[in-house]
Amino acid sequence: AFAEVEVDIETGEVKVIRLVSSHDVGRAINPMIVEGQILGGAAQGLGYALTEGFCFDQRTGTALNQWFLDLRTPSILDIPDIEPVIVELGEPTHPFGAKGCSEISYVGVAPAIANAICHATGARVTELPMTPDVVLKALREAKRTGA
């Protein structure tokens, strides 16, 4: 996965402008469905990378945002331009040469965004979700260490 981002260095807000998500699917038996799986996984990955995180009460350990409505999953308005790339290298162990691509398509999104933030700012973000406060912390650390 590859991401193009804009980072507001004063607020820590990250805006993903473009995302390219490439997957070896063996053989795409139905390319339209494969593209849909890649797009859906990339959208899930955006939430995982930028907004969806559990908050816990420090005293009791109780989840403070235990309902789906509290997780701030991205809506269609939050999704950038996503380019799905289907790679077909074949799979000899499957009768039709196919591989699955559903859940795996969200895995590369967070590292791609973290790398894009580092490329844009020099700050390495190592915590998820990459909320503005997490990004600001990474920016301060990069400035402190001269990275």
Per-residue pLDDT reduced to its tens digit, 36-53: 999 999 999 999 999 988
What pLDDT is recorded for position 7?
98
Rounded to a whole number, what is the distance in angstroms from the first to the last CA of the chain? 24
Rounded distance, CA 147 to CA 144, Å?
8
> Between 68 and 98, whose confidence is greater?
98
pLDDT band for position 147 (cuts 50, 70, 90):
low
> Between 12 and 56, whose confidence is greater?
12
Query: DSSP labels for the chain?
Result: -EEEEEE-TTT--EEEEEEEEEEE-SS-SSHHHHHHHHHHHHHHHHHHHHT----B-TTT--BS--SGGGS----GGG--EEEEEEE----TTSTT-----SGGGGTTHHHHHHHHHHHHHS----SSS--HHHHHHHHHHHHHHT-
Catalytic, out of 10, 88, 103, 127: 103
Let me know if 103 is a catalytic residue: yes
List the single range of 12-21, 23-32, 54-63 with lowest mean pLDDT.
Answer: 54-63
pLDDT tens profile 120-145: 999 999 999 999 999 999 999 999 99
Cα separation values, 142 from 91, 122, 127, 131, Å: 43, 7, 14, 17
pLDDT tens profile 81-93: 999 999 999 999 9
Query: What pTM does this model have?
Result: 0.88
